[in-house]
Amino acid sequence: MVLLDSSEGGLTPIYSMSAQGEEVVHDQPNGVIILNQSLVLQKVTRSQAGSYTCEASNVEGDQVSKPVAITIMCKCQPLYSRC
């Protein structure tokens, strides 16, 4: 994937994220954060396991990343009882 500098003629790509072919939507209260070309998953559950991709689009075309497999093995526990 090529990231073009936004100062060069407005070719900045628009990014979208997908999981199992469905668009992932920014939902910060539920721990899904999309910021520029980054996806952050907080409060992860087993239902979020699967294949994730990123698509970049601009006037020159579209490009989809190779899929990344996310596996959730168990429920995370806080390190300290006060957490």
Tens digit of each residue's pLDDT (9 = 90 or more) over 20-49: 999 999 999 998 988 878 888 888 888 899
Residue ranges of the domains in the chain?
A: 14-70
pTM over 0.85: no
Q: What is the mean pLDDT of residues 75-82?
A: 59
Q: Do the Cβ atoms of 30 and 43 come closer than 8 Å? A: yes
Predicted local confidence at residue 6, as pLDDT = 39
Q: Which long-range contacts (CB under 8 A, 24 or more apart) does 56-59 make?
A: 56/1, 56/3, 56/13, 56/14, 56/15, 57/13, 57/14, 57/16, 58/4, 58/11, 58/12, 58/13, 58/14, 59/11
pLDDT category of residue 53 using cuts at 50, 70 and 90: very high
Q: Which CATH superfamily is domain 14-70 in?
A: Immunoglobulins (2.60.40.10)
Query: What is the average pLDDT score of the chain?
Result: 80
